[in-house]
Amino acid sequence: MGHIKINFSKEVDDFGSQIGKTIQDIFRPRPVNPMFASKDCNWVPQMDIFETANQITVWAELAGVEKDDLVVEVNSKAVQLSGYRKQIKPMSAGTYRLAEIRYGRFERVLYLPSPVNIDAVDSFFANGLLTIRMEKIALKKSHKIPISDG
């Protein structure tokens, strides 16, 4: 016996494709742009960037990471954060029912919205939250150029 092929209008097909893509995006692991993380990393910390007129502040959520396992590098254009989160040793007589916490190596590079003075950076780490404060470099908006006789 043959089958009957049903064709919907283009609008219905587009709507169905959008729903399918949305459902796939919900259940797909969060993609990481290769520009922001190394491919051999096991997880990527969540980070925020906040900018004022004179300062840029970056926060990184690093629950379970020891301060000694954390490396922060700053240049005038970017912040690189890398390190390692050790796995919690489970009790020998139990079974995992849910395991969502990622362990192992991580790396993240954030490109800053404005250049910063690398000599005016401070950071602190408390309760699993890393805070990095950077002073922005004041840039002149215009520069007069002398014109010589030629």
Q: Is the whole-model pTM more than 0.75?
A: no
Question: What's the confidence (pLDDT) of residue 32?
Answer: 42
Q: 45 to each of 3, 26, 59, 76, 134, how far by Cα in Å?
A: 51, 19, 10, 22, 20
Domain 32-89+102-136 belongs in CATH node 2.60.40.790: yes
What per-residue string of b and e applies to 1-21 under the rule 16 or more CB within 10 Å gives b?
A: eeeeeeeeeeeeeeeeeeeee
What are the residue ranges spanned by the domains of the chain? 32-89+102-136
- For residue 74, report the phi and psi dihedrals to the nearest 5 degrees: -130, 135
Q: What does the DSSP 8-state code read for residue 116?
A: E
| Ranges under pLDDT 50 in the chain | 29-38
Q: What does the DSSP 8-state code read for residue 110?
A: E
Question: What's the confidence (pLDDT) of residue 10?
Answer: 57
* H or E segment and range at residue 20: helix 10-27
